[in-house]
Amino acid sequence: MNKSDLPESIDPQTKEGAKPVDHVRRRLNKAALATPVIASLVARPALACSVSGFMSGNTSPGRRDPRCDGYGCTPGFWKNNPEAWRIYSPGQCSQSNDRGKCQQWTSAGGTMLAAILPTTCANPFTKVGAGEYLLDILLKAIGGNGNDISTEYADVCHYIAAILNAAASEASYGSSVSEIQAGLCKAADNGNVNYYTTTLLAGLNARGCVFDAHGDCEKNFVAHSSGGCIPACPSGQTYNPVTLQCEATTAP
């Protein structure tokens, strides 16, 4: 924080008629003012929108969340681009065009909901069974090529997208698969699964996609050592997976 950000006491040597300054009191007042501001800045990453913030209790229903950094692809992206899936499988290609691009997918052999649900709590999604394929859930819930998700499936769709995002690029998404699963159990225990999925995770999933339709890094993104994609930072800066921002490179 810059000194100019804090209110300064008037200096009697530069302001006529000003009262003498108690410099000890001024330092104490500045410290008192700075403390809550610094605390709020430290808490902001968790408060803004993050699964870790939700787990620590810094994010709750009814609180307006500031914009957060990081990247995430929407449920519609994962539904329309099965080739981009990583770790988890959408199923099998059942029809390709003459250029070898898959035109139609079948969920047979793909990942089921049971594989991404946490093992420490029951399935909280009442509209879908654990034995349903992830791709089938997205296909029946999202119409056309957009992100128009049926309300009754919005919770599970945003959860699926969050898992796929974390599995594909934790470095840019900012949350791990295990964190998202633990968050779901906490939300179920507290009775706010809808908030967790359709507000918190939906926000994380709408920050901008790092992948193209084939799962390669989009323009202005580069492959990360973890296997995901991160922003191609300007010269002299490196990507920080904790703050999810490009920051000045620290000299060795």
- Tell whether 82 and 196 lie within a shared domain: yes
Amino acid at 104: Q
How far apart, in whole angstroms, are the C-alpha atoms of residue 81 and residue 53?
Answer: 30
pLDDT at residue 12 in the model = 35
pLDDT at residue 104 in the model = 87
Helix (H) or strand (E) segment spanning residue 80: helix 75-80
Across the range 89-107, mean pLDDT stands at: 87
- Tell whether 17 and 75 lie within a shared domain: no
- Tell whether 127 and 166 lie within a shared domain: yes
How far apart, in whole angstroms, are the C-alpha atoms of residue 160 and residue 167?
Answer: 11
Helix (H) or strand (E) segment spanning residue 105: strand 102-106
Taking the CB of residue 67, how many other CB atoms lie within 10 A of it? 8
How far apart, in whole angstroms, are the C-alpha atoms of residue 124 and residue 155?
Answer: 10
What is the per-residue burial (b if ≥16 Cβ within 10 Å, else e) of 204-239?
Answer: bbbbebbbeeeeebeeebeebeeebbbbebeeeeeb
Q: Is residue 224 part of a domain?
A: no
Under a CB-based contact definition with an 8 Å cutoff, are residues 251 and 238 in contact?
A: no
DSSP-derived letter for residue 11 is: P
How far apart, in whole angstroms, are the C-alpha atoms of residue 114 and residue 217?
Answer: 29
Helix (H) or strand (E) segment spanning residue 248: strand 245-248
Q: Is residue 230 part of a domain?
A: no
Our count of domains for the chain comes to 2
β 221-223/102-106 pair status:
unpaired
pLDDT at residue 161 in the model = 98
Closest CA to 104 of 84, 83, 74: 83
How far apart, in whole angstroms, are the C-alpha atoms of residue 193 and residue 200?
Answer: 10
- Tell whether 107 and 31 lie within a shared domain: no
Name the more confident of 47 and 214.
214
- Tell whether 98 and 167 lie within a shared domain: yes
- Tell whether 81 and 120 lie within a shared domain: yes
Q: Taking 60 as the threshold, does the pLDDT of residue 137 lie above it?
A: yes
Q: Taking 80 as the threshold, does the pLDDT of residue 72 lie above it?
A: yes
- Tell whether 23 and 143 lie within a shared domain: no
pLDDT at residue 58 in the model = 56
Confidence of residue 153 (pLDDT cuts 50, 70, 90): very high
Least confident of 44-53, 117-126, 152-161, 242-251: 44-53
- Tell whether 81 and 193 lie within a shared domain: yes
Amino acid at 54: F
pLDDT at residue 24 in the model = 37
pLDDT at residue 10 in the model = 32
- Tell whether 119 and 199 lie within a shared domain: yes
Q: Is residue 226 part of a domain?
A: no
- Tell whether 20 and 95 lie within a shared domain: no
Last residue of a domain, one of 192, 207, 222: 207
pLDDT at residue 15 in the model = 37
How far apart, in whole angstroms, are the C-alpha atoms of residue 162 and residue 166?
Answer: 6
Under a CB-based contact definition with an 8 Å cutoff, are residues 137 and 150 in contact?
A: no
pLDDT at residue 213 in the model = 87
Indicate the pTM of the whole model: 0.76
Across the range 68-94, mean pLDDT stands at: 93
Across the range 24-30, mean pLDDT stands at: 38
Q: Is residue 54 part of a domain?
A: no
pLDDT at residue 251 in the model = 61
Q: Residue 174 sits in which domain range? A: 69-207
Q: What percent of the chain has pLDDT over 70?
A: 75
Q: Is residue 241 part of a domain?
A: no
Closest CA to 191 of 155, 243, 245: 155
